[in-house]
Chain A
Amino acid sequence: MSTPNPRFDFDIAVVGSGPAGLAAAALAASKGASVVLLDEQAEPGGQIYRAVTETPVRDRKVLGPDYWHGAELLGPLRDSGAVHWPGTIVWSVARPREDAGDGHRPIQIGLSRNGLAAMLTVRHVILATGALERPFPIPGWTLPGVLGAGAAQVLLKTSGLVPSGATVMAGSGPLLWLLAWQYLQAGARIDAILDTTPKENWRAALPLLPGFLRSPYWAKGMKLMLEVRRKLTVIGNVTALRAEGAIGGDSALKSVVYTRNGTEHRLPADTLLLHHGVIPNLNLANATGCAQRWDEQQRCWRPTTDDWGATSVEGVSLAGDGAGIGGARAAEEAGRLAALDALHRLGRIGREQRDQLATPFRAALDRALTGRAFLDTLYTPAEAFRAPADDTIVCRCEEITAGAVREAVRLGCSGPNQAKSFLRCGMGPCQGRLCGPTVTEVIAAERGVSPAEVGYYRLRPPVKPITLAELAALPKTDADIDAVFKH
């Protein structure tokens, strides 16, 4: 068992209770480490298994067996002795320069629970912050009535809510089809699915198909897609989209205009659900100082990690989709690998034991990632949606258009960080989560260089807005007070 050390609140903190976080916390705690699992939501599960303990959708066929697998991760967590703090926002992870005197440099976590800020000191952090939907900027996407497909799925899982009135789904990627299938099982109305998967993607994806045929997702995905195509109106080769309110009004969505084979068509719509795949939710890792790189295949930034999820910052690991998209089952195994490596780094298990224990998890991870390249390549969004037309708002918080970003580039702005000072884009409360990838793509396209060269926002804590009152109420040491009053 762990030796109590007053310098540390816990050996390991895990941030996020989706599949990666649940698996990591359960394994690390079961091997004797003291573990705290910090999560924003009231119940464990992350977004993929959101509300799995309490969903009102009790008919198991609606959400499907892959969703209910999430419940199997909860027993091991309960039995492990890990401490679960739901309703906790982590706004900073930092490593002070000096060590605690025993060879371990503590990591300080800034968090907020029940409206009160607090600092937590731990030896190791596993970030399992998961994914968020790739921004899908089209004209009118800020109108009430336009939501992410992932958002609509959260409403289904947590509250049993489905769209009523005229409903259009648009975009591409597995989640769009899964949600359509779930709506079919639930008896919800969908007027049309506008498929924006570019025809050209098939050419690049076909050579990767044999790999996908060995994936566990192949048969399931095919069955689900065929059922959706048989029962719903699916309109393919959609190359442009826009959401419109009433004429002269912008208070709510009224119609969706799409382009197919060069011709515009209009559909009445009360609800439009957009989806263009998911990307790593990397704000916390970025603000912690973890190096990240541009992933051309997934067309997103991902923090740099080794085989165990270790980042460029000592004592900080990443597991699951937050380190690159692999899906829920891959996230679970990555969580276990990160936990084993953390145990090794803390001196609880030897290197050989770590490697030996990792063998089955690594094999399962490889299986779960089989065929991923096919999905990534097939579902890469068309450039017109990644770097949209000038009149499209890209930064929803500050209401900055793609045209304004291009104008800034012409004035000498070379990357997203300068774009902030030119335009304020990325400086609203979402802290670039809904505009960062688009701003990178727009600047890269305008400059004619790779997104890797353009870079990404440099994010700083707090990564979620907290009030000044909360910060001011943090406990202070004499050294903290001296730092302010003696300089």
Chain B
Amino acid sequence: MFRRLPEIETATAAQAVSFTIDGRPASARAGDSVTAALLANGVTACRTTAVSGAARGPYCMMGVCYDCLVTIDGTGNRQGCQVRVAPGMAVETQNGKREVER
């Protein structure tokens, strides 16, 4: 679980980005990665693995572990930590492997 430092929370109102997590409306700060935006909204687990179906969340936050994979605007297997959250973005947690055509 993560929270925003209070002095930044105040600054957020002007810089809020509205997006959705599995269809639910959510808000983040401009400049957040998709993964940071998920954590700020209390979403610690972002996918289940293709091998055993175990839940996973982000581990490295620098693009090397590939545990933060999510579906972004319909495209699966995106590294959430390497993509910045954008207004209207549809972020979906991912179950198992990437689906064909996604």
- Which residue numbers of A lie inside 8 Å of B, CB to CB? 40, 42, 47, 51, 54, 56-59, 132-133, 142-148, 150-152, 154-155, 158-165, 186-188, 250-252, 270-271, 281, 396-399, 428-430, 433-434, 464-465
Contacts of B8 in A (CB 8 A): 56-57, 160
Interface pair B33/A397, CB less than 8 Å apart: no
Interface pair A150/B62, CB less than 8 Å apart: yes
Interface pair A158/B36, CB less than 8 Å apart: yes
Q: How far is the CB of B26 from chain A (nearest CB, A)?
A: 14
CA distance A429 to B39 in the complex (A): 22
Contacts of B55 in A (CB 8 A): 143-144, 250-252
B58 is an interface residue with CB less than 8 A from chain A: yes
Could you write out 18 A-B pairs with CB less than 8 Å apart? A58-B7, A59-B7, A154-B81, A159-B33, A160-B4, A163-B2, A164-B1, A186-B5, A250-B54, A251-B45, A252-B44, A252-B55, A281-B64, A398-B51, A399-B54, A430-B64, A430-B65, A434-B65
- In residues 51-92 of chain B, which contact A (Cβ within 8 Å)? 51-52, 54-67, 69, 77, 81-82, 84
Contacts of B102 in A (CB 8 A): none
Given the known interface contacts A147-B61, A155-B36, the answer about A56 and B49 at a Cβ–Cβ threshold of 8 Å is no
Contacts of B64 in A (CB 8 A): 132, 281, 430, 433-434
User: Across the two chains, which residue of chain A brings its CB closest to B42?
Assistant: A164
B31 is an interface residue with CB less than 8 A from chain A: yes
User: Across the two chains, which residue of chain B brings its CB closest to A115?
Assistant: B75
User: Interface size of B by Cβ–Cβ distance < 8 Å?
Assistant: 40
Contacts of A133 in B (CB 8 A): 60
Q: How far is the CB of B94 from chain A (nearest CB, A)?
A: 13
Interface pair B65/A161, CB less than 8 Å apart: no
Contacts of B45 in A (CB 8 A): 144, 251-252
Our pick among A56, A251, A399, A464 for the contact of B51 (Cβ within 8 Å) is A399
Contacts of A143 in B (CB 8 A): 55, 57
Taking A161-B40, A250-B54, A399-B51 as known contacts, 6 extra A-B pairs with beta carbons closer than 8 A to each other, sorted by chain A number, are: A150-B60, A155-B39, A160-B29, A162-B2, A250-B55, A428-B66
Q: How far is the CB of B87 from chain A (nearest CB, A)?
A: 16
Interface of B is mostly: loop
Q: How far is the CB of B53 from chain A (nearest CB, A)?
A: 10
Interface pair B84/A42, CB less than 8 Å apart: yes
Q: Which 10 A-B pairs have the closest CB atoms?
A: A144-B57, A151-B61, A144-B45, A160-B8, A429-B66, A164-B3, A154-B61, A159-B36, A165-B1, A161-B2
User: Across the two chains, which residue of chain A brings its CB closest to B6?
Assistant: A187
Contacts of A163 in B (CB 8 A): 1-3
CA distance A464 to B77 in the complex (A): 13
CA distance A428 to B32 in the complex (A): 27
Contacts of B4 in A (CB 8 A): 159-161
CA distance A251 to B44 in the complex (A): 9
Contacts of B39 in A (CB 8 A): 155, 161
Given the known interface contacts A145-B44, A161-B2, A161-B3, the answer about A151 and B51 at a Cβ–Cβ threshold of 8 Å is no
CA distance A165 to B51 in the complex (A): 30
Given the known interface contacts A144-B55, A165-B1, A250-B54, the answer about A433 and B29 at a Cβ–Cβ threshold of 8 Å is no
Interface pair B59/A47, CB less than 8 Å apart: no
CA distance A271 to B58 in the complex (A): 12
CA distance A130 to B66 in the complex (A): 18
User: Across the two chains, which residue of chain A brings its CB closest to B54?
Assistant: A250
Our pick among A152, A251, A396 for the contact of B67 (Cβ within 8 Å) is A396
Contacts of A465 in B (CB 8 A): 66, 77
Contacts of B65 in A (CB 8 A): 396, 430, 433-434
User: Across the two chains, which residue of chain A brings its CB closest to B62?
Assistant: A47
Contacts of B59 in A (CB 8 A): 142, 146-148, 151, 396, 434
CA distance A59 to B46 in the complex (A): 31
Our pick among A142, A147, A159, A281 for the contact of B54 (Cβ within 8 Å) is A142
Q: How far is the CB of A396 from chain B (nearest CB, A)?
A: 7
Q: How far is the CB of A175 from chain B (nearest CB, A)?
A: 13
Contacts of A158 in B (CB 8 A): 31-33, 36
User: Across the two chains, which residue of chain B brings its CB closest to A144?
Assistant: B57
Q: How far is the CB of A388 from chain B (nearest CB, A)?
A: 16
B100 is an interface residue with CB less than 8 A from chain A: no
CA distance A51 to B45 in the complex (A): 25
Q: How far is the CB of B51 from chain A (nearest CB, A)?
A: 5
Interface pair A132/B3, CB less than 8 Å apart: no
Of the listed residues B4, B36, B55, the one surrounded by the most CB atoms of chain A closer than 10 A to its CB is B55
Our pick among B11, B52, B62, B84 for the contact of A154 (Cβ within 8 Å) is B62
Interface pair B5/A151, CB less than 8 Å apart: no
Contacts of A144 in B (CB 8 A): 44-46, 55-57
CA distance A53 to B63 in the complex (A): 20
Contacts of B77 in A (CB 8 A): 465
Contacts of A42 in B (CB 8 A): 84
Interface pair B61/A155, CB less than 8 Å apart: yes
CA distance A132 to B62 in the complex (A): 8
Given the known interface contacts A57-B8, A145-B44, A162-B3, the answer about A151 and B36 at a Cβ–Cβ threshold of 8 Å is no
